Structure 1
Amino acid sequence: MNYLISGATGFVGTHLLNHLRGGGQGVEVISRRPNVGCDWTMESLLPAVLQADVVVHLAGAGVMDAAWSPARKLELERSRVETTALLARACVEASRQGHTPRLVSASAVGYYGPHAPGEVQEESSPPGEDFLAQLCVKWEGALSVAQEAGVPVSTVRIGVVLGADGGALKRMLLPFKLGLGGPLGSGRQSFPWIHVQDLVRLIEFIAQDGDRAGIYNGVAPGCVDQRTFARTLGRAMGRPALLPAPALALRLLLGERSTLLLTGQEVRPSAALAASFEFEHPLLADALVDLL
């Protein structure tokens, strides 16, 4: 199969690129100029889309990379919604020309908004009302033009992706190595995680069959709370995990972004399990041992 990937230089995109090429798949990437908004055009995208069996859309500005000023919030939206809409339209145009690729787009578990532990969120659960939830609603809504035209569309609502070479785990390693690790805030908030290799395998699994179109939660079955995550990481590293990061300090340091760390949602990968996808790392302890 031939894949076309946006966001291929990011953490997840790099792993997906290596996984697919390692499996003998053809892969092309969609690039854009750094520090520029969406500089793609239909003319630049369509030839590549016409050659692709699957288009995987992972591009989007990092939600933790800068303070959420009004301008930054607009950038977060544009980098997701505008690019998604353009790719969706390119897939529709390719379909009109006799070639219908499958479209797999990232979203996030932030779609569900903050929830108390025990309030399990599945793919059919309604969206939340906070900024991130509504961002995800707009992000996913940009796919509608492709869905209405009969393009097989899948959305992967991704949780916290664990990998030693990037993402949240890499940022946590140093404080734990220094003996300064611990839970964030109360530690009671849910922490929906997934091993990066399971995520790229799930994306490939979905892409392989047009009948698998739909919404998937990109999380492991073994969701834990943040306190359990910190303790499990500490054990895996042979380091203590006794120093909590106070919620007030995180709010002062990060502002509105602190909601990503201090709240969570217990998310179940119901669609993936129903489709008989097999997680290689369903349990946190095993996943961390593999990564570390």
Structure 2
Amino acid sequence: MGILITGATGLIGRELIHELAIHGHEDIRVLSRNPEKAQASFNIPIKCFYWDPEKAQVDKAAFDSVHTIIHLAGENIGARRWSKQQKEKIINSRVLSTRLLVNTINENNTLKIKKFISASAIGIYGNRSGDQVLDEQADYGSDFLAKTCIAWEKETANIQNKEIIVNHVRTGIVLARNGGALEKMLIPFKLGVAGKLGSGEQMMSWIHLADMVSIYRFLVENDFGENVFNAVAPKAHSNSNFTRIMGKVLKRPTLLPAPGFALKIALGEMATLVLDGQNVYPKNFLEKGYKFKFDHLEDALTNLVGPEQEFKQVQWVEHPLDEVFDFFSDERNLETITPDSLSFKVLGKSTEQIEAGTIIDYKLSLYGLPFKWKTEISNFNRNKEFTDTQLKGPYKKWVHTHGFKKYANGTLMTDNVSYKVPMGEIGSIVAGAFVRKDINKIFNYRSQKLYKIFGETNKHVE
């Protein structure tokens, strides 16, 4: 049965679609104002349909054979200053989109929908000072964000079929490598001009993006009658403590506070996003057995902004698994899918066929400088995955795991790379951004090349 997702091209939606695909969910649909653009932005087979909540328009074909709706759409609350018009946009983007989904469900009693999972936010609890712990039974607040969340959640009460499971996911501060709040925080921290915000006593309830998407999959794959779930890590931190831990991970000073009055002048009412806080606890998720991947803030920040970086990519081709695996496990084909600018050449390998323990020697050029590269196949599991680990080369660390699985009459490929740039902290500051950009370019080139090699057409990767 299908899964229909709104807000699919956002920070959470994009990663969630990859998470669902990797775990075998094949019939994924997306509602978008621009279905063609949404379709082109994914490397995996999804079905995109038109909708416009403001006009109350939706392609009802999107709902055929859908079992679960995941509703993530909503105007970014931190995108711009909260004028009267912007506040209306924030509310309407959530209320009207939910209303359109609910009305569409109510109008067709032949639909097979069993579950409606809707995003919400911990802002529903309002600003809470001190260490008061807020679980899903906590009282609501009365400020703008609380009223927005209350109106947002209230719309699902109008679903007429009471057998449909409704889960509201009250989300905290999502920490992600590329995008979201953390990306905005990084520049002052790296420049050494960061510090606590306001009093620093406000509590920050956070969650790693990996847990955020895993939580949604957890709700998709399990039927829970609870209406509300707090999507936060088990331990919140004060802004002062968050700042201290961030500085520790980045090895940067955090001595320059931002006074609350200055933030209110700069941001207006939107300053509430950084000056207000809640100590939220994920009671329902923990009681249902969800195991957090990142339940300690320092571990989460180290994973996201520490010296060891990660790159991930997902791509599907309509080609048999064994043929795709054979292509990648022939080292000569690496030359074919690597940009010419790198002058990448395979010099030889230690075994006739690639297997666990095989040593491969290469040469390449980075910014005109020649390098020798030696890797070992540290793991080899035919038609599932293999890992090449750098023994000698331009990186301080490079571990690349290639994954393969049957998916939608083709093959789903995953790339998971862990790497460190040389020269430690200095190298990370000076060259880290350039290295990330280069890796993105290399894998984007590879994606396009693979589509041509395997006969795919009409593919585009942004």
Is the TM-score greater than 0.5? yes
Q: CA offsets per residue over residues 100-119 of structure 1, 9 Å max, x none? A: 23110000000000001211
State the AA in 1 paired with 2:67. Answer: D
Distance 1:251 1:273 in 2: 36
Measure how far apart 1:166 and its partner are.
Answer: 0.8
SS in 2 for 1:105: strand
Matches of residues 221-260 of structure 1 in structure 2 within 5 Å? 221-260=234-273
Segments of structure 2 that go 5 or more residues without pairing to the other structure are 38-50, 306-462
Residue 121 of structure 1 and its aligned partner are, at CA, apart by 1.0
Letter paired with 2:64:
L
Q: Is the 8 A contact 1:92 1:149 kept in 2?
A: no
| 1:156 alignment partner, SS class | strand
Counterparts of 1:38-187 in structure 2, within 5 Å, are: 38-39=53-54, 41=56, 43-44=58-59, 46-94=60-108, 96-146=109-159, 149-187=162-200
Question: How big is the alpha-carbon RMSD for the aligned residues of Structure 1 and Structure 2?
Answer: 1.8
1:176: how far off? 0.7
CA distance in 1, matches of 2:58, 2:179: 33
Offset of residue 91 of structure 1:
3.0
SS of the residue 1:289 aligns to:
helix
SS at the partner of 2:256?
Answer: coil
Q: Which of residues 255, 276, 297 in structure 2 aligns to 1:284? A: 297
The alpha-carbon deviation at position 41 of structure 1 amounts to 4.3
> Could you give the per-residue CA deviations for residues 110-162 of structure 1, whole angstroms, max 9, x where no partner exists?
00000012111111111101111011000000111127633111000000000
Structure 2 equivalent of residue 207 of structure 1: 220
2:281 corresponds to 1:268: yes
Give the match for residue 195 of structure 1. 208
Three-state SS of the structure 1 residue aligned to 2:101 is helix
Structure 1 residues 184 and 126, CA gap change in structure 2 (3 angstroms): same
What is the Cα deviation at residue 70 of structure 1? Answer: 1.4
Deviation of the 1:240 alpha carbon: 1.2
- C-alpha separation in 1, matches of 2:269 and 2:283: 30
What secondary structure is seen at the aligned counterpart in 1 of 2:277?
coil
**Aligned equivalents of 1:147, 1:224: Cα separation in 2:** 40
Which amino acid in 1 is paired with 2:53? Answer: C
Structure 2 distance, partners of 1:211, 1:42, is 31
**Residue type at the aligned position of 1:184:** L
SS at match of 2:255: coil
Residue aligned with 2:33, SS: coil
Contact 2:230-2:285 at 8 Å conserved across structures: yes
Tell which structure's C-alpha radius of gyration is larger: 2
Amino acid at match of 1:164: R
Identity %: 38
Q: CA deviation at 1:25?
A: 1.3
> What amino acid sits opposite 1:30 in the alignment?
L
Question: Secondary structure of 1:210's match?
Answer: coil
Shift of 1:38: 2.2
**Which whole-Å CA distance do the structure 2 matches of 1:211 and 1:175 have between them?**
42
CA contact (8 A) 1:177 1:239 kept: yes
Counterpart secondary structure, 1:142: helix
2:33 aligns with 32
- Tell me which of the two structures has the higher relative contact order, counting C-alpha pairs closer than 8 angstroms and 6 or more residues apart: 1
Q: Deviations over 1:149-190 (max 9, x none)?
A: 331110000000000101000111111111111111111000
Q: Count the aligned residue pairs.
A: 289
Q: Deviations over 1:195-225 (max 9, x none)?
A: 0110111111112123344200010001111
| SS of residue matched to 2:29 | strand
Q: How far, CA to CA, are the matches of 2:53 and 2:211 in structure 1?
A: 29
TM-score computed with the length of structure 1 as normaliser: 0.94
> What is the alpha-carbon distance in structure 2 between the residues aligned to residue 43 and residue 182 of structure 1?
46
Pick the structure with more helix per residue. Answer: 1
3-state SS, counterpart of residue 118 of structure 2: strand
Q: Following the alignment from structure 1 to structure 2, what is the Cα–Cα distance between the partners of residues 82 and 43?
A: 12
Look up the equivalent residue of 1:38 and give its one-letter code.
Answer: P
Task: Confirm or deny: 8 A CA contact 1:37 1:78 kept in the other structure.
Answer: no
Question: If the length of structure 2 is used for normalisation, what is the TM-score?
Answer: 0.60
Q: List 4+ stretches of structure 1 deviating above 4 A.
A: 39-43
The CA distance in 2 between the partners of 1:140 and 1:180, in whole Å, is: 39
Query: Given the superposition, is the C-alpha separation of residues 98 and 91 from structure 1 closer, same or farther in structure 2, using an over 3 Å criterion?
Result: closer
- For 1:241 and 1:218, how far apart are their aligned partners in 2? 28
Name the CA distance, whole Å, in 1 between partners of 2:120 and 2:75. Answer: 12
Q: SS of the counterpart of 1:278?
A: coil
Matched position secondary structure for 1:143:
helix
Shift of 1:14: 1.4
Partners of 2:168 and 2:227 within 8 A in 1: yes
Distance 1:43 1:61, change over 3 A: closer
Amino acid corresponding to residue 137 of structure 2 in structure 1? S
Q: CA deviation at 1:90?
A: 2.4
Q: How far is 1:89 from its partner?
A: 2.4
Within 2, Cα distance between the matches of 1:251 and 1:241?
21
